[in-house]
Structure 1
Amino acid sequence: MKKLFKFIGIVLLLLIVSAGIYYFTNNEPLPEGKKGKEADALAIKMFNAINNDAFENTEILEWSFRGAHFYKWYKQENIVDISWDNNKVILNTKEREKSEVYINDKKVANSVVFKKAQDNFNNDSFWLIAPFKIFDSGTERRIVNYNGKDALLITYTSGGSTPGDSYLWILDDNYFPTSFKMWTSIIPIGGVSATWSDWKSTKTGIKLPTKHKLSLFGMELDMGEVKTENSKANILAYRILKAIKHEKYKKTRFIEWSFGGKRHFKWDKEKHIVAVSWDTIHVNLYPQEIDKSTVFFNEKLQEKADSTIVKKAWDIFNNDSFWLVAPHKLFDPGTIRNIVSIDNKDALKVTYTTGGTTPGDSYIWVLDENNIPKSYKMNVPSMEMNEVPATWQDWITTASGTLLPTNHTFSNGGNLSMGKVKGYN
């Protein structure tokens, strides 16, 4: 027996010594940083890189944590469905007293389970959305020189389950977070790192992590099937499409119009061929097979189509058709839809992440009482346009049964006519 106790004692001593060596080898002191404008400027660059605006407008986030805790967060409503084992909590994050606790599908009053749900949510949501919390109430921001580059140190002085924790965000050249180092009360070793690199692009335009790898014993945190959704925005978008007879638009074969009286179009939607004319130039444009396009000068066919002219026709068509059919493009690939409030009414913000001539543009659609667009506010970074307004007016019902606008006016009093608009089969 004495030999057994001696053996156990030796093992414990070795473990303690090993732990001590590991601690002193890996423990890092909290770095000193500088608060102020430079730190906030770096934080804003990080916010822009992660598309914080899209996060603010995201309605629903869904994920799990290490395959044990499952979440569906109705962010705009401040409600989270949380489940684990045989427990389910409907957590109201603003009015906690309205939360509900269920065990084995039976509603109960259980403060222990409720507190566990709160703590789980605080921890597990942080591993999902921590980059979006750098300006939360009770945060302090400091700029730190880390390996010769600027890094952002965030300290949470209040809130959550463990106030006082600090995180040093490591950013890439575009200010996108790739990892952080932690100084927290639940991890005794300072400077433990975790990756933020396995990102997933979601439907609402934000990227969220799917897993993290920690430097502490190679631990991995799996975030499960990460999803986001803007269902209210989608419902509003479908109402717009119904109002402008989008089903008829999809079946419309030919659309004709002009742009400010200077450029003229006949679009065969079925074959996706566009006759584009301006000055003495006529282009038969094949937008999806650009090399098949043909160019005419003064009605004479060029033996070899001038690629510069073809590119100009393509750019013109992208721009000028948008002013005619943009409301019909709300669900195009690469679009993100959010609801925003304009004059205390729901408006639809549509952001184009791909396609067209200037991806990244966004438009806020203001609707009339019938859900027909009456104006929009344009955000076009490449042209330094920030919520520039324009009307969508004088809608007509075409021969094919769809609705298209014929005029636009601007805040400076200018008018843009779409000419004699036709849609037919």
Structure 2
Amino acid sequence: MKKFFKILAYIVLVLFVGAIIFYFVKNEALPEGETGKEADALAIKMINALHGDAYENTEVIEWSFRNAHYYKWFKQENIVHVSWDDKKVILDTKSLEKSTLFVNGNKTENKDFINQAKEYFNNDSFWLVAPYKIFDKGTERRIVKHKGKDALLITYTSGGSTPGDSYLWILDENYFPFSYKMWTKIIPIGGVTATWSDWKNTETGIKLPTKHKLSLFGLEISMGNVKAYNQNANTLANKILKAINHQAYKNTRYIEWSFGGRRHFKWDKEKNIVDVSWDTIRVNLHPADTLKSTVYFNEKLQNNTPNKIVKRAWDIFNNDSFWLVAPHKLFDNGVVRTLEQIDDKKALRVTYTSGGTTPGDSYVWILDSTYVPKSYKMYLKNGRMNGTPATWEDWITTESGALLPTNHTFGNGGKLSMGEVKGYN
């Protein structure tokens, strides 16, 4: 027995010495940095790379933490549904006393579980949205040199569950964060690295991580099925689509119209082929594969297809079709929908993050009492328009049943006719 205890004591001693060696080898001192304008400028570049404005407008975020804690966060209402084991807490993050606990589906009074839900949320949400919290109240920002490049050191002097923790964000050439180093109370070793590289593009336009890998023993943290969406904005968008009979639009095969009497179109939506005509030129355009397009001058087929003419037709079609069918494109890929209030009424801001000829443009749709768009305000990425209004008027119900506009009026009094608009099968 004595021999057993000697061996056990030896093992404990070896582990203890190993732990001390590991600590001194791995532990890093908290770096020093400079506060001030340069640090804040770097932080702003990081926030812009992350589309921080989209995060502010995000309504709902869902995720899990290591497949143990599950969340549905109504950001604007400061309410989080926190679930684990047989417990669910409807957590009010601003007024904890208003929170509600359910155990096995039964409402129960237990402040300890509610406090536990708060602790879980503070920790687990940080692993999801920490990059968006660098300007939170109680944060200090410092610029630090890391491997010859600027990095951003964030210290949380208050708030959360562990004030005093610091994180050094490592950024790529576009100021997008791909990892951080941690100095926290919960981890005794300073400078432990965690990756922020497995990002997911969400419906609201923000990116969120799906997992992290720590340098400490290769630990991995899964964030589960991450989602972010704007529930109220989506509800309003669906009301618009119903009002303009979007289902009929989806089933419409042919659409014909003109643009200010200068350009004319016949679009086979089913095959996604469109005849684009202007002056003496007609292009049989294949928008999804422009190499298949053909060009006619005075109705004579050109054997050597002029690529500049095809590109011109593609640009024309993208612009001119938008003025006809934009309200039917509210749920296209790369579209972000957010709710706004215009004159105390709900309006829908639509931002195109990809596609078309000018990704980044946004439009605030203003609706009539039946949810049919009556106008929008245009905000172009190039800055040429910042709230410029245009009407969407003289809607017609086409032969196919879809509603389409036939005229627009601009804020300067200018008018744009879509000609004789047709939709049929």
| TM-score interval for Structure 1 and Structure 2 normalised by the shorter chain | over 0.9
- Alpha-carbon distance between aligned partners in 2 of 1:63 and 1:73, rounded to the nearest angstrom: 9
- Alpha-carbon distance between aligned partners in 2 of 1:286 and 1:87, rounded to the nearest angstrom: 55
Amino acid at match of 2:366: V
Q: Which residue is 1:74 aligned to? A: 74
Q: Equivalent residue of 2:374, what SS? A: strand
Deviations 1:302-353 (A, max 9, x none): 2222111111111100110001110011122332322223333222222223
Deviations 1:47-76 (A, max 9, x none): 121122222222221111112111111222
Amino acid at match of 1:42: L
Closer, same or farther: CA 343–41 of 1 in aligned 2, 3 Å: farther
Q: Equivalent residue of 1:151, what SS? A: strand
- Alpha-carbon distance between aligned partners in 1 of 2:78 and 2:72, rounded to the nearest angstrom: 11
Q: Which runs of 5+ in 1 are unaligned?
A: none
Higher mean C-alpha deviation, range 389-398 or range 213-222: 389-398
Q: Equivalent residue of 2:283, what SS? A: strand
- Alpha-carbon distance between aligned partners in 1 of 2:160 and 2:209, rounded to the nearest angstrom: 20
Q: CA deviation at 1:199?
A: 1.4
Q: Structure 2 length as normaliser, TM-score?
A: 0.94
Q: Equivalent residue of 1:378, what SS? A: strand
Matches within 5 A, 1:41-80: 41-80=41-80
Matches within 5 A, 1:160-175: 160-175=160-175
- Alpha-carbon distance between aligned partners in 2 of 1:106 and 1:24, rounded to the nearest angstrom: 50
- Alpha-carbon distance between aligned partners in 2 of 1:105 and 1:246, rounded to the nearest angstrom: 40
How many residue pairs align between the two structures? 425
Matches within 5 A, 1:145-156: 145-156=145-156
- Alpha-carbon distance between aligned partners in 2 of 1:368 and 1:101, rounded to the nearest angstrom: 42
Q: Equivalent residue of 1:205, what SS? A: coil
Percent identity between the two aligned chains: 70
Q: Which residue is 2:184 aligned to? A: 184
Closer, same or farther: CA 289–187 of 1 in aligned 2, 3 Å: closer
Amino acid at match of 1:392: W
Matches within 5 A, 1:233-272: 233-272=233-272
Q: Which residue is 1:225 aligned to? A: 225
Does residue 413 (structure 1) correspond to residue 413 (structure 2)? The answer is: yes
Deviations 1:142-164 (A, max 9, x none): 11111111111111111100111
Q: Equivalent residue of 1:203, what SS? A: coil
- Alpha-carbon distance between aligned partners in 1 of 2:272 and 2:11, rounded to the nearest angstrom: 76
Higher mean C-alpha deviation, range 394-403 or range 175-184: 394-403
Q: CA deviation at 1:92?
A: 1.0
Deviations 1:78-129 (A, max 9, x none): 2111111222211011222210112233222212111111101100110011
Higher mean C-alpha deviation, range 185-194 or range 70-79: 70-79
Q: Which residue is 2:91 aligned to? A: 91
Q: Which residue is 2:200 aligned to? A: 200
Higher mean C-alpha deviation, range 320-329 or range 336-345: 336-345
Closer, same or farther: CA 290–106 of 1 in aligned 2, 3 Å: same
Does residue 333 (structure 1) correspond to residue 336 (structure 2)? The answer is: no
Amino acid at match of 1:290: T
Q: Which residue is 2:318 aligned to? A: 318
Q: CA deviation at 1:32?
A: 1.4
Q: Equivalent residue of 1:21, what SS? A: helix
Q: CA deviation at 1:383?
A: 5.7
Amino acid at match of 1:71: Y
Q: Equivalent residue of 2:155, what SS? A: strand
Q: CA deviation at 1:382?
A: 4.2
Q: Which residue is 2:379 aligned to? A: 379
- Alpha-carbon distance between aligned partners in 2 of 1:289 and 1:162, rounded to the nearest angstrom: 55
Matches within 5 A, 1:105-144: 105-144=105-144
Does residue 424 (structure 1) correspond to residue 421 (structure 2)? The answer is: no
Cα RMSD, aligned residues only:
1.9
Q: Which residue is 2:343 aligned to? A: 343
Higher mean C-alpha deviation, range 155-164 or range 240-249: 240-249
- Alpha-carbon distance between aligned partners in 2 of 1:272 and 1:3, rounded to the nearest angstrom: 83
Q: Equivalent residue of 2:232, what SS? A: helix
- Alpha-carbon distance between aligned partners in 2 of 1:130 and 1:415, rounded to the nearest angstrom: 48
Q: Structure 1 length as normaliser, TM-score?
A: 0.94
Q: Which residue is 1:15 aligned to? A: 15
Closer, same or farther: CA 314–111 of 1 in aligned 2, 3 Å: same
Q: Equivalent residue of 2:376, what SS? A: strand
Q: CA deviation at 1:384?
A: 4.9
Closer, same or farther: CA 250–2 of 1 in aligned 2, 3 Å: closer
- Alpha-carbon distance between aligned partners in 2 of 1:61 and 1:160, rounded to the nearest angstrom: 19
Higher mean C-alpha deviation, range 39-48 or range 157-166: 39-48
Q: CA deviation at 1:26?
A: 1.5
- Alpha-carbon distance between aligned partners in 2 of 1:90 and 1:374, rounded to the nearest angstrom: 39
Amino acid at match of 1:396: I
- Alpha-carbon distance between aligned partners in 2 of 1:341 and 1:138, rounded to the nearest angstrom: 30
Q: Which residue is 2:363 aligned to? A: 363
Deviations 1:204-243 (A, max 9, x none): 2222111111111221111122222323222211110111
Q: Equivalent residue of 1:388, what SS? A: strand
Does residue 298 (structure 1) correspond to residue 303 (structure 2)? The answer is: no
Higher mean C-alpha deviation, range 34-43 or range 405-414: 405-414
Q: Equivalent residue of 2:389, what SS? A: strand
Q: CA deviation at 1:253?
A: 3.0
- Alpha-carbon distance between aligned partners in 1 of 2:296 and 2:406, rounded to the nearest angstrom: 28
- Alpha-carbon distance between aligned partners in 2 of 1:113 and 1:252, rounded to the nearest angstrom: 55
Closer, same or farther: CA 68–273 of 1 in aligned 2, 3 Å: closer
Higher mean C-alpha deviation, range 185-194 or range 380-389: 380-389
Higher mean C-alpha deviation, range 164-173 or range 303-312: 303-312
Amino acid at match of 1:216: L
- Alpha-carbon distance between aligned partners in 2 of 1:411 and 1:13, rounded to the nearest angstrom: 81
